Structure 1
Amino acid sequence: MKTVHLITLLEDGEKKELQQMLKEHKRSSLNKLYKYLLQAAQKGHDKENMFRAAFGEKYSSAKDYLLRNELRLLNQAIESLIIRRENEKNTQEITRNLLLLERMLQKGETELFRNVFTETERMAIAQADHKNLVALYTCAVDHTIRYKEVSVTHYEEVLRLLQLKKEALERYTNEVAAELELRRNFSLKVISTLDPGHTPTAEEENGESSPGAGIVSSYLRRYAASYMQSGEEKIQTYLQLIEALPEVSRLRPARNRDLPALYGNLALELFLSGRHAEADRYYTIALEHTRDAHGFLDLYFNYCVNALLLGKHKEVSDIYTAHFQAIDKNKKLRYRFACFASIACLMLDRPADAFRLLDPEIIRRPVTEYYYYRLVYAMVYFQKGDMDNAEREIGNILQSFRFRRNARVEDKPLVKLIQKMIELESFRNQKEKYAQLSEKLKTEVQERREEQSRFSTVIYNWIVWQVQQR
C-alpha cells in the first residue's frame, strides 16, 4: 500500500514531526490512522482494522470512500513533509556550495570549480531558486574573467552567463514584486474595511525617486559607462566614482569591494595615456586595499608592467616570487606574468634566472602570447651570449609573420632590431666594423622611439639598454 511505503521513507525525526503535525490537525482520525499504520507496518494491515483505528467504527464497503479519503490526505501530508525536508537539504547544500565556490574564486581553484558549479546550478534550477542562481552566475562570471585565458570563446561564455544571470534576476525581482503587491493589496483591503473613506498616506512611488536608490543606480550607470570611454573622459569618470563610493558603500556595504578595481582601472587608463608615475601612485593605493593576490592578479600584473617602465625591476621580480603559487595556478596570466618577470631579471642582469622562469614547452604557450613568449626567449638567449639559439628564435618569429594569417605584427620592428643586434655580435672581433655598425644601430633604435605606441615599450627599453652597452 502506498501509505505504508511512504512511511518507510521517513526518518525517525520526521516520523515524530509528522505525528506532532497530525495531532494539531482538525481531523483527529488522521493521527489515529497514522499511529495504527506505524504499529502495523511490521505485522501487516487490513481495511477493517484501519477503519476501526481511524473512526472507532466497524468497516463496511459502503463506507470505504471514507477510508480512501483518509489515506489520500495522509499520503499528502507525508509527501509534503518529505518534499519540504528534501528542499531544505537542497537549499542548505546550495548555500554551502556557494560558499565553497566563493572560496575557490578567492584562491584560484579551477579544477573543482566546474563540477561544483554544474551540480549547484542543477539543484538551484530544480528548486527555482532564482536568488541563489543570481549569486551562482555572478561567481561563475568572476571566475571565468579572472582565471581563464583571454579568448573569444571564454568571453562568449561570459556573455552567456550574464544572460542567464539577467533572466534569473528578472524572475527573482518579479517574485519579490508580486509578494510586495500581495502584502500591499492586503493592507489596502484592511484599511478600506476599517475605514472605507480613508485615503492611504503611502502612495505608490517609483523606487528611483528614493535618494539612496538614486545614488546607487547613478553610480552603477556611471561605472558601466566607463567601459565605453577612454582617455581623459574615462580618468575623470573613475575619479568621480572613487569620490562617490563612500556614500554608496554606506547604503550598500558590499560595493566597498569596488575600491581596488576603481583605483586599478584609473591607474590603467593613466598608464595607457603614458602617465606612468601617476599610474604607479594609484596602483599602489589599489594594492593597499587588496586582501591577497589570488583575487587581484590582474591588478598585480598591471602594476608590474607599469613598474617595469619606471625601472622598478627588482620590485617586479620580488612580487613574482612572493605570489608565484597564485600566479602559476592562473591559466589566464601565468605565461604573461612569467614573460614580464623574466624581462625584469634581464634588466637586473640575471639572464640565468630569466631563463628558468620561461616554460620550455612551446605547445603550452597560448596563441595570444606565442610571439611575445618567443621574443622574450630570444632576448634571454642573447643576453646569455647564446647567439645561435637567439637567431633561431628570431628566425622562427619572422617566418611566422610571413606564413600565419593571425600573426601579431605590431612588434615586428622590435624583432628586426634584435635580429640586427645578433648580426652585430658576429663582427665583435672586427673592431672598426663593429663600431661602425653599432653606431648605425643606435641611430636606428633612437629613430624608433617615436613609434613606441605601436609596439611593446618594455621590450624596446631592453633593446635601448642593450645597445647602449655596445
Structure 2
Amino acid sequence: MASRAERLLASLSAAELRQLDDAIAQAKRPATKTLHALLRQHQQQPTEEPANKEWLFHQLFHRDWSRKEDYLLRNELRLLSEKIQGMMVQWEQEREARQSPSLRDQFLLRALLHRRLLTEFEEELPGAYADAIERLDYTNARAINNLRYEYLMLYCEITPERMEQAHHTMEENLSNLKHTYRSEVAINQHNRVVCEQTLGAMGKHLPPTTVGADADIAGISTPFIAFYEHASHAHQASGEARVDFARQAANQIATVAQQFPDHTVWGFTILASSLLAERRYSEAKEAFESALEFIQTHRRPIPPDMLFNYASTLMKLREFAAVLGLIEKYQAIIRERPKVHFRFESLRCFCHIFLRQPDEALQAIPPAITQRPESEYQYFRFLYLIIPYLRDDLESAIREARNFNDYFTRHKDALLHPKEKEVVALFRAFFVALADSTDRQSLKIELDAVTQQLRLFTERSPEYRDYLYLLWLQEEIAGKLSASMR
C-alpha cells in the first residue's frame, strides 16, 4: 500500500504540485527535500506500484534498509505528509475565501488589526460589515463584529462613547448569532427530512422531523458554558459574591484546561482581578502567579492586560522594584498592545515616584506626550508637578501646577476629562500649604482642609479612586500630617 505522502501527492493538481515544489525548496530539512524529489520522480514513472521503501531508505540514508531502522523512513514520510497537509489547508482556505467575499474581508481585517494597521482597519471595517449583512452572511458579519469589539476594547482609548459602541456591537452580534442559529437549524432539519424520506423509500420509517420547531436549548450546559456564565455573574456582582462567582468560573474552566488552555488563563485572571477589585491584594498576587505558572507550563501566550493587573497588584503591595522588574522582563509583550503599553509607562514612572527617585521618573516619561490622547497626556503631566516637589523645589512645583491649571482653562471647551482640573487644584493647595505655613498647627489645619477636599472629590468621582497620582497625593499628605503631629 502506498504511503500517505504518496497518496497526498497523487491527489494534487499540476498547479498545486508546482506550488508544493516551491515550498519544499524552501524547507530547512535536507531529508524532506530529498524524499519529496524521490517521490515526485517515482510519481512520473509508468507504474501504479508504491515506491519501494528499500530504495527510498537507501537513497535517503546511504545504507541498506532494515526492519530495526524502518522508523527513520516512517518519520521522514510523516514530516513530508505534514508539510503537504499544511499546504492543502492553505489552499482550502484560499478557495473558501475566493468563494466567500465576506470571509476574505474578515481575513483582511484580522490581518490589519493584528499588524496594528489601525487606520486601514478603520477604513475597511464599515464596508465589510455592511456587505456581509447585505449578503445575509451572518456568520462572517458576526466574526467581523467580533474584530470590531476587539479593536474597541484593546486598541482604543477607553471612553464612555467607546464602551457604548462596544456594547452596541455585541447587541448587533446577538441578532447575527440568532440569524446564524436559525439558519443552521433550518439546514439541519432539512437534512434530517431528506434522510427520513430516503429511509422511508427503503422501508425503514423514523418519526418525522417537525419542520420549523426550535427545541429549547436552555438545558444544554458544559464546563465551558458554565465558565462564561459564572464569569458574567462575577462582572455584575460586587463584594464576596464577585469573588465567589469568579472562583466558580475558574474552577469550571479548570476541568477542561487541556481543551481550553487560553480560557483557563482567563479564568485565573478573572479570579485574580476580582480579588484585586475587592482589595484582597495578597490573594490576588497568588492567583496571578498561579496564572503565570500555568502559562509557563502549558506554553501559552501571556495576555498583556493580565500582566498589567498583576503589576497593579504589586503596586498596591508597594513592591515597586518587582513592578520595574516585571516591565523589564515582559517589555516585548507589553509593546504589542498600545493601550496597555501606556499603562505600563505610567506604572514605571510612578514606581520611581513612590521610590522617591525623581530623576529616574523624569527619564521614564515617554517623549512627545503632547501628541498622546488627552487622558494619557494629562496622566503624565501630573509627573511634572511631583518631580520638582521630590527635588525639594516647591516654587517650581507650584509653578507647574499653575501652568497645568492654565492648560485646562485654555482648552475648557474641548476637554474630554475636565475633572483633572480639580485634582490640579488639590496638588497646588498641598504645595502652597507646605510653602506658606509657618508652624505645625497652621500646616495641620491646611492639610486637613486639603484632605477633606480630596475625600469629597473621590466620593463624587469614584472612578479616580485608584489613579496613581491621587494615591501618591493622599499618601504624601498623610505623611506630612503624621510628621506635623510629632
TM bucket, shorter chain: 0.5 to 0.7
| DSSP 3-state at the match of 1:459 | helix
Checking the alignment, whether the CA contact within 8 Å between 1:219 and 1:248 is kept in structure 2 is no
1:316 to 323, 344, 360: 323
Partner of 1:276: 281
Within 2, Cα distance between the matches of 1:293 and 1:397?
44
Partner of 1:25: none
Q: How many residues align?
A: 380
Partner of 1:353: 360
Within 1, Cα distance between the matches of 2:176 and 2:169?
10
CA 1:293–1:100 in 2, change beyond 3 Å: closer, same or farther?
A: farther
| DSSP 3-state at the match of 1:349 | coil
Partner of 1:424: 434
CA deviation after TM superposition for structure 1 residue 232, in Å: 1.0
CA deviation after TM superposition for structure 1 residue 245, in Å: 0.8
2:344 to 307, 320, 337: 337
Partner of 2:310: 303
CA deviation after TM superposition for structure 1 residue 355, in Å: 1.5
Between stretches 265-274 and 403-412, larger displacement belongs to 403-412
1:208 to 217, 220, 242: 217
CA 1:169–1:108 in 2, change beyond 3 Å: closer, same or farther?
A: same
- Structure 2 residue 272 is the aligned partner of structure 1 residue 267: yes
1:395 to 397, 402, 413: 402
Within 2, Cα distance between the matches of 1:294 and 1:396?
44
Identity %: 17
**AA partner of residue 114 (structure 1):** E
| DSSP 3-state at the match of 1:149 | coil
Partner of 2:180: 172
1:458 to 444, 451, 471: 471
**AA partner of residue 208 (structure 1):** I
Within 1, Cα distance between the matches of 2:421 and 2:309?
20
Instruction: Give the TM-score, by structure 1 length.
Output: 0.64
CA deviation after TM superposition for structure 1 residue 235, in Å: 0.7
**AA partner of residue 288 (structure 2):** Y
2:192 to 184, 187, 192: 184
Checking the alignment, whether the CA contact within 8 Å between 1:208 and 1:214 is kept in structure 2 is no
Q: Which runs of 5+ in 1 are unaligned?
A: 1-11, 14-85, 428-432
**CA shift digits 1:108-158 (9 cap, x unpaired):** 553443345457546645654432332222122112101100113322332
RMSD value, Cα: 4.6
- Structure 2 residue 415 is the aligned partner of structure 1 residue 407: no
Counting only pairs closer than 5 Å after superposition, residues 60-71 of structure 1 correspond to structure 2 as none
Partner of 1:90: 98
Within 2, Cα distance between the matches of 1:165 and 1:420?
50
Instruction: Give the TM-score, by structure 2 length.
Output: 0.62
Between stretches 387-396 and 231-240, larger displacement belongs to 387-396
Checking the alignment, whether the CA contact within 8 Å between 1:146 and 1:332 is kept in structure 2 is yes
Within 1, Cα distance between the matches of 2:170 and 2:372?
29
Between stretches 378-387 and 398-407, larger displacement belongs to 398-407
CA deviation after TM superposition for structure 1 residue 344, in Å: 0.2
| Greater relative contact order structure (CA < 8 Å, 6+ sep) | 1
Partner of 1:146: 154
Within 1, Cα distance between the matches of 2:101 and 2:478?
58
CA 1:294–1:171 in 2, change beyond 3 Å: closer, same or farther?
A: same
Partner of 1:114: 122
Within 1, Cα distance between the matches of 2:392 and 2:335?
28
CA 1:171–1:447 in 2, change beyond 3 Å: closer, same or farther?
A: closer
CA 1:258–1:410 in 2, change beyond 3 Å: closer, same or farther?
A: farther
Asked which structure has the greater CA Rg, the reply is 1
| DSSP 3-state at the match of 1:316 | helix
